[in-house]
Chains A and B, each alone.
Chain A
C-alpha cells in the first residue's frame, strides 16, 4: 500500500465540511494533551512513535480499516516512519505534510462578506492555533488587521486580487502569537497602526491608533472606525468596518470573552473589561457582525469555516455577556483563568521589538493553542 500525503489545507477542508477522520497522533503524550488537531468528526488515538519502534502489530486492531486514517507528529519524520509501517502491514494511511508545525502555520482565507461599494472583507483562519486575522479590500486597496507572522500569505493574496496594502493594524499588543504587522508595513510601505497604550515600550515607529480614528481604504470610503475597548490589554481597540462589521480583537469572542491577565494584573483590568463589554459594546448596533481575533473551540466555526456572529446573538447567547452581578463577573475572569499561552512574555517582547528572534525560535514560542479567552 502506498502512503498518501495530506496537506494542512486538505485537513482544513475536512474540518469545514465536518468530515470523518481518524488521527493517529504519534507525538509524546504531553504534547498531544496540550494541543491537537480538532474537528467535529475527528477521532484520536495517541501512541508515541517511540513505543512503535518494534512494530505496529500490537496497535493494528485499534486502527479502523473503514475510515480515512491520518498519522501526525511534530514535524513529519516520525509520522512517515509509522505510516510506512502501517502501510507495510496492509493499511492505507496518510501522513500530514510538515506535521503540527505546518498545521500551526496554515491560514485559510474565507470571504466573510461584501462591502457596500463592492469591496469585500476576508477572514484568514489560522485553523491549528485559532487565530483570526482580516483583510478589508476596496477599490484596489487593502487593510490588514491582526496579521500573523506568515506575512507572505497576505501579500500574495493581496497581489492575487490586485490590491495594494495601504494600512496595517494590530488591535492590541499580542501575547499569544507574533504579529506580522510591522513586517508587512515595512515591505509594502503601508502605515502600521498600534494603540499607543499598548506600545509604550516598543522600539520602532508606528502610527498611534486612537479612539475615533477613521481610516479610508480605497476611493469609496470604507471607514474603519476605532473604538477604544480596553480589558484584554489596556490599549485594546475594536474596529467598526463599513458600519457593518465589528472587529472585536481579543475582547469578545463567539463563545467566550477576553482574559485580562496576559500583560499585567487581571485585578486592574477587569473593570475595563466589564465596562467595554457591558457598556461600550451595548451602545453599538446589535446588527453588527462580530469578527473576533480568535476562536477557542471548533464548534465556533460556521458551516463555511468563518467565525462570525451578530452582536445581538452574542448578547443573548455568550455566557460572558450575561453575568449581571459584577462581583460574579470579577470572580469568573480573575479566578477561572486557563494556563497562559506558551512563552507569552517572549512573544510580547518580540512584538515590541525588544528581542529579535529567528523563524525557528518564533515557531517554538507559538507552539500550542492560543488560550486568550475565559469561558
Chain B
C-alpha cells in the first residue's frame, strides 16, 4: 500500500506511539495516508480506537515478527 509518510514507532512504549502518530498526522493533508510501525502490543487496539475517535480511516493492518504496521487515511 502506498503511504504519503512512514512513521517508525518501533520500540516505543505507550503513550509514545500514539503521541508520534498524532504529530505525524497533523503534518498530512486530509485524504493522505500515514504508515505506522509499532512493536508495543497495546498500540494495536489504541491506534484502532484513536483512528475512529479522530475521524480517520484505518485502511489496513499487518503484523509479522512482532512488528505491526498500520495504514491510516487522514479524515
Selected from A51, A78, A364, the residue in CB contact (under 8 A) with B14 is A78
Contact with A along B42-60 (1 / 0, CB 8 A): 1001100110010000000
| CB neighbors of B among A23-70 (8 A) | 28-31, 48-51, 53
Main secondary structure on B side of the interface with A:
helix
Enumerate chain A residues within 8 angstroms of B19, measured Cβ to Cβ.
Answer: 53
Which A residues form the contact surface with B (CB < 8 A)? 28-31, 48-51, 53, 73-75, 77-78, 81, 364
Q: Are A53 and B22 in contact (CB under 8 A)?
A: yes
Could you say which of A30, A53, A364 has the most chain B C-beta atoms within 10 Å of its C-beta? A53
Q: Are B22 and A48 in contact (CB under 8 A)?
A: no
Enumerate chain B residues within 8 angstroms of A48, measured Cβ to Cβ.
Answer: 46, 49-50, 53
Bound-state CA distance A75–B12 (Å) is 13
Enumerate chain B residues within 8 angstroms of A77, measured Cβ to Cβ.
Answer: 13-16
Could you say which of B18, B19, B46 has the most chain A C-beta atoms within 10 Å of its C-beta? B46
A99 vs chain B, min Cβ distance (A): 9
Bound-state CA distance A150–B51 (Å) is 36
Q: Are A28 and B45 in contact (CB under 8 A)?
A: yes
Q: Are A74 and B15 in contact (CB under 8 A)?
A: no
26 contacts between A and B (CB under 8 A): A28-B45, A29-B49, A30-B49, A48-B46, A48-B50, A48-B53, A49-B14, A49-B15, A49-B18, A50-B15, A50-B18, A50-B22, A50-B46, A50-B49, A50-B50, A51-B53, A53-B18, A53-B22, A73-B14, A73-B15, A74-B14, A77-B13, A77-B16, A78-B14, A78-B15, A364-B41
Selected from B13, B22, B41, B46, the residue in CB contact (under 8 A) with A28 is B46
Bound-state CA distance A29–B45 (Å) is 10
Bound-state CA distance A28–B50 (Å) is 8
Bound-state CA distance A53–B41 (Å) is 20
Bound-state CA distance A73–B42 (Å) is 11
Enumerate chain B residues within 8 angstroms of A73, measured Cβ to Cβ.
Answer: 14-15
Least CB separation from B12: chain A residue = A77
Bound-state CA distance A238–B53 (Å) is 49
Chain B interface size, as a band, is 10 to 19
Main secondary structure on A side of the interface with B:
helix
Enumerate chain A residues within 8 angstroms of B41, measured Cβ to Cβ.
Answer: 364
Bound-state CA distance A49–B22 (Å) is 12
Bound-state CA distance A48–B18 (Å) is 11
Enumerate chain A residues within 8 angstroms of B49, measured Cβ to Cβ.
Answer: 28-30, 48, 50
Selected from B13, B45, B50, B53, the residue in CB contact (under 8 A) with A31 is B45
Bound-state CA distance A274–B58 (Å) is 49
Enumerate chain B residues within 8 angstroms of A31, measured Cβ to Cβ.
Answer: 45
* Known contacts A49-B18, A53-B18, A364-B41: A75-B50 contact under CB 8 Å: no
Q: Are B45 and A75 in contact (CB under 8 A)?
A: no
Bound-state CA distance A364–B50 (Å) is 21
A10 vs chain B, min Cβ distance (A): 22
